Amino acid sequence: MSTIDRPRPAMLTPALPVAAVVVDSGLAHLDREFEYAVPPELDSLAQPGVRVKIRFAGREVDGFVTARRATATHAGRLTPLRKVVSPEPVLTPDLIETARAVATRYAGVLGDVLRLAVPKRHAAAEKALPLEPPVPPAPPVTPAPPVPAPAMSSTSPMSSTATTTSAAPDQTVGTVRAGKSGPWSAYPAGPAFLRRIAAGQAPAAAVLALPGRPAGSDWPDLFALAAREALDAGRGALLVVPDHRDLDRVDAALTRVLGKGQHVRLSAEQGPQARYTAWLRALRGHVRCVVGTRAAAFAPVRDLGLVGWWDDGDDLHEEPRAPYPQVGEVLSIRAELTGAALVTAGFSRSVEVQERVDAGEWASVAAPGEVLRQAAPAVSIAGEGHDLERDGLAARAHLPSAAWRLARTALEHGPVLVQVPRRGYLPALACQICRTPARCVVCHGPMAVAIPGAAASCRWCGKGWGAAGFECVECGNTTLRRSVTGARRTAEELGRAFPGVPVVTSGAGEVRASVSSEPTLVIATPGAEPVADGGYAAALLLDAWALLDRADLNASIEALRRWTGAAALVQPRSSGGAVVLAGVPEGPTSLAVEALVRWDPAWLAQRELDERRVLSLPPAVRVARLVGSRRALDEAVSAIRQSVDVDVLGPLPIPDHGSGEPAKHQTIVRVPLSKGTALAASLTAVRSTRSARKDPEPLNIQVDSVGDA
DNA sequence: TCAATCCGTATC
DNA sequence: ATACGGATTGAC
């Protein structure tokens, strides 16, 4: 009757009046889309991807519009959207798809992943940055190839090896590209890998980087050149490194290879505005290439053509916030979803990467063994203790004399690196004679003495030795040693052994990025080694036992990672570069030591993978760790058992750190890799049920973790 | 007969 | 988490 209620012309009912919204409720069982009505005045703003405020269960919460649709699937009445926070469509289809996949993989909630993936809004940054790139898309900085690129015409899929249409062009392409591929030419499969990126395909490579850094072929150049191929093919590139120093180096390499302004860096130390601006430049398509640390794995690079990350084994790649995703997992999920190429590189190889290689998913890209060994420094071993002799200066610094002599000679030619382990690793139990780590006879978990004076028990399943007692699986010995690690040599101590030589330290607190080629003693903890101009003349890797005896499943892989990380900064053996590994335990040589001497990290990774297959340890199996009260664990385990055939270790009490709260327990569940998805789904269901009935007892679920054992 | 309260369940 | 509805209880 009345005309008052009729919509005014400027406020017509939207053509797509329904908005699907992911709501950040923080509740696991509400981890899905809800539909809202789009009020006419928000029609143009409420585009897919924008942040919104909505009323949900009576309170004001944040969310993202994920879609607009003509009709609702929800039967009831729809509440109207309250407000569009910003017109910026931050949650792109690529991002929401990635976030969902990551949440599924880690049995986490989408909201948690979105908090990692989408930075907090910075309104000033949004306003200040132009919508369009300030300059028209820069012309390709790559000098045009002298011959028209034959690859342009080929749209047919190429095999993983170099395949071109005819022999003659192949020759031409080979030469042209050889100049272009630079350091990749040192790897037989390298140029073909680049060509496949250029052709818009999705090759995946696990690169064993050549040690040393001859001009223009440092590892950051591998990434920069691969990124250029993706960019030249009209697609985007995303590179992730563990820390700030690596970021500086890849950043510089990208500037060299791509020119200025073609990429952005993204890292936590940037501050909110700079960070959000950089993120927006990627989102708005001002740049097609991003390099950053951990959180950058979610960067909104458009039309992703390449993902890459350096040093998979670095624990900085593990996100410490729920659901604890690892950079390599996130990037491989993205590569799979977008059809992007993938490259991970390091001086050593993690077992996780080797597992992909062994499964045929990623190609191993390495220089021929002889080339690799020639590029590496000469490695020798100095034993533990027996070599400490009367030599006054060396003895005072607790240095094996062989190490001291090498350093003294090398200091005449350039800087010498001394790697000293940090203190404070967990004590573990190992065979008294051969130092093979003691493992549980039931589940192969690590054995430790939880309470001083008590009997040893497994840190995973809690079982003791049983009636037979300990017997070393390697040598049959029945006595144990407890390794207390972490003697740290002071700079003064070492400095006194080399009078008159300047001493530089780099470690927790103060990390140095580089040193000159002047003779200097550089003392660093693992991971904090400065790069030396022209390479170190030598390196001393001290207290090898401190790394090898760690109570960690990954001890030997991690030891090799740290040693190669330092040794790769030394000049090649052809230039006299040498390394002494000191403090190696007596008895049978550990595989990690052998792998360093032979410079064969892939071999060690494969040996380790084989062993983990035999012992049913990750990454040969999929595991998850549940922490909570006995009752919560029991209920969770029986629920999981309804849907998945899991192997259950525990529950066993976690030693509390004097908090006085009721003792928590942990349980580890494991399944074959093929059941990984089913396990994650089951864990999600457990989380959801518990959340729905408001279970007051906390239960923490962490996929891919066995705790700090 | 009505209001106050408890409990279970949906949240668009 | 809230909020709402339906059931339950208690007092007039």
A39-CA/B6-C1' distance, Å: 37
Residue A679: is its pLDDT beyond 80?
yes
Residue A268 near residue A280, CB atoms below 8 Å: no
- The Cβ-side half-sphere exposure at A532, using a 13 Å CA radius, reads 32
> For A64-109, what is each residue's pLDDT tens digit?
999 999 999 998 899 999 999 999 999 999 999 999 999 999 999 9
Nucleotide nearest the Cα atom of A29 (by C1') = B11
pLDDT in tens, A139-153: 555 544 443 333 333
Place of tokens 């940090």: A422
A413 touches strand B (CB under 7 A): no
Asked if residues A502 and A396 have their Cβ atoms less than 8 Å apart, the reply is: no
* CB of A76 lies under 7 Å from some atom of strand B: yes
Q: Which residues contact A509 (CB under 8 A, 6 or more apart)?
A: none
pLDDT in tens, A107-118: 999 999 999 999
Question: Distance in angstroms, CA of A401 to C1' of B4?
Answer: 88
* Residues 6 or more apart in contact with residue A173 via CB below 8 angstroms: A150, A151, A164, A195
Give strand ranges (E) for A320-451. Answer: 341-346, 363-366, 378-383, 416-419, 428-431, 447-448
**For residue A342, which of A463, A214, A239 has the smallest C-alpha distance?**
A239
The 10s digit of each residue's pLDDT in A408-428 is 899 999 999 999 876 544 456
Q: How many whole angstroms separate alpha carbon A364 and alpha carbon A96?
A: 31
A505 pLDDT band, cuts 50/70/90, is confident
Q: What band does A497 get if pLDDT is binned at 50, 70 and 90? A: confident
Q: Which nucleotides of B are covered by protein (CB under 7 A)?
A: 9-12
Tokens (6 digits) for A227: 């990124």
Round to a whole number and report the distance in Å from the CA of A626 to the C1' of B5: 39
Instruction: Indicate the fold that domain A617-703 takes in CATH.
Output: Alpha-Beta Plaits (3.30.70)
Instruction: Provide the 3-class DSSP secondary structure of residue A183.
Output: helix
Helices assigned H by DSSP within A444-554? 491-497, 544-548
Nucleotide nearest to A694 (CA to C1'): C1
Distance, CA of A295 to C1' of C12, in Å: 66
Residue-level pLDDT at A157: 33
- Residue whose C-alpha is closest to residue A446's, from A436, A454, A438: A438
Residue positions counted in chain A: 709
pLDDT at A454: 63
Task: Give the whole-number percent of chain A exceeding pLDDT 70.
Answer: 83
Query: What is A182-372's CATH number?
Result: 3.40.50.300
What is the pLDDT confidence band of residue A439, given thresholds at 50, 70 and 90?
Answer: confident
Q: Which residues pair with A178 in a beta bridge?
A: none
**Rounded Cα distance, A540 and A308, in Å:** 31
- For helices A676-692 and A630-643, the axis angle rounded to 10 degrees is 130
- As a three-state string, the secondary structure of A342-374 is EEEEECCCCHHHHHHHHCCCCEEEECCHHHHHH
At A561 the pLDDT is 97
Distance, Å, A64 CA → B11 C1': 17
In Å, what is the separation between the CA of A74 and the C1' of B6? Answer: 30
Q: How far apart are CA A591 and CA A256, in angstroms?
A: 39
Pairwise CA distance, residues A627 & A625, whole Å: 7
pLDDT at A120: 94
> Can you count the helices (H) and strands (E) in chain A?
20, 28
Q: Are A7 and A13 in contact (CB under 8 A)?
A: yes
**What are the residues whose beta carbons fall under 8 Å from the beta carbon of A619, sequence distance 6 or more?**
A351, A352, A355, A609, A612, A673
Residue nearest to nucleotide B11 (CA to C1'): A57
Is residue A504 a contact partner of residue A530, using CB atoms and an 8 Å limit?
Answer: yes
Rg (CA), chain A: 28
3 state SS of A609 = helix
Q: What are the tens digits of pLDDT across the range A442-460? A: 767 667 665 555 677 766 6
Q: How confident is the model at residue A169 (pLDDT cuts 50, 70, 90)?
A: very low
CA A170, CA A455: separation in Å to the nearest integer?
67
Q: Does the pLDDT of residue A43 top 50, yes or no?
A: yes
Res A461 pLDDT > 70: no
Percent of chain A with pLDDT over 90: 61
Best CA proximity match to A651, nearest among A670, A631, A635, A667: A667
> In the prediction, which pLDDT does A136 show?
59
Provide the pairing of β-strand A83-86 with A51-56.
Answer: antiparallel
Q: Which residue has the tokens 């350091």?
A: A183
Strand C nucleotides, any atom under 7 Å from protein beta carbons: they are 1-4
Is nucleic acid strand B under 7 Å from A641's C-beta?
no
How far in angstroms lies nucleotide B3's C1' from the CA of residue A296?
58
d(Cα A250, Cα A44) in Å, to the nearest integer? 40
Q: What is the pLDDT of residues A306-324, one digit of tens each?
A: 999 999 999 999 999 999 9
Q: Cα A632 to chain center, whole Å?
A: 31
| Residues within 7 Å (Cβ) of strand C | A 25, 27, 30, 57-59, 692, 694
Helix axes A93-105, A110-117, angle to 10 degrees: 130
Domain spans of chain A, in order of start:
12-89, 182-372, 380-602, 617-703
Nearest nucleotide relative to A18: CA against C1' = B12
pTM for this entry = 0.85
The residue behind tokens 């028990």 is: A457
* Cα–Cα distance measured from residue A118 to residue A122, given in angstroms and rounded to the nearest whole number: 12
How far apart CA A340 and CA A226 sit, in angstroms, is 12
Measure the CA–CA gap between A706 and A626, rounded to whole angstroms: 9
Q: Is the dihedral of CA A396, A399, A400, A401 positive or negative?
A: negative
Does residue A50 carry a pLDDT above 80? yes
Higher per-residue pLDDT: A238 or A399? A238
pLDDT at position A357 over 70: yes
Among A36, A472, A53, A513, CA closest to A244 = A513
pLDDT digits (tens, 9 = 90+) for A370-396: 899 899 999 998 864 444 444 555 555
Q: Is the CB of A29 under 7 A from strand B?
A: yes
Q: What is the pLDDT of residues A549-566, one digit of tens each?
A: 777 889 999 999 999 999
C-beta separation of A698 from A633 below 8 A = no
Query: Measured CA to C1', what is the nucleotide nearest A57?
Result: B11
Q: Which residue has the higher pLDDT, A413 or A495?
A: A413
Instruction: Verify if strand B has an atom below 7 Å from the CB of A15.
Output: no
Count CB neighbours of A257 within 10 A: 23
Average pLDDT, stretch A509-531?
A: 87
- Whether residue A334 has pLDDT greater than 80: yes
Q: What's the rounded Cα separation, in Å, for the pair A637 and A626?
A: 9
pLDDT category at A463 given cuts 50, 70, 90 is: confident
> A286-290, A419-423, A470-474, A482-486: which has the minimum mean pLDDT?
A482-486
State CA A187 to chain mean position distance: 23
> Which band of pLDDT confidence, cut at 50, 70 and 90, is reported for residue A170?
very low
Largest CA distance in chain A: 109
Please name the residue that has the structure tokens 């990429």: A263
Same CATH fold assignment for domains A182-372 and A617-703: no
Instruction: Please check the confidence at residue A214 and state whether its pLDDT lies above 90.
Output: no
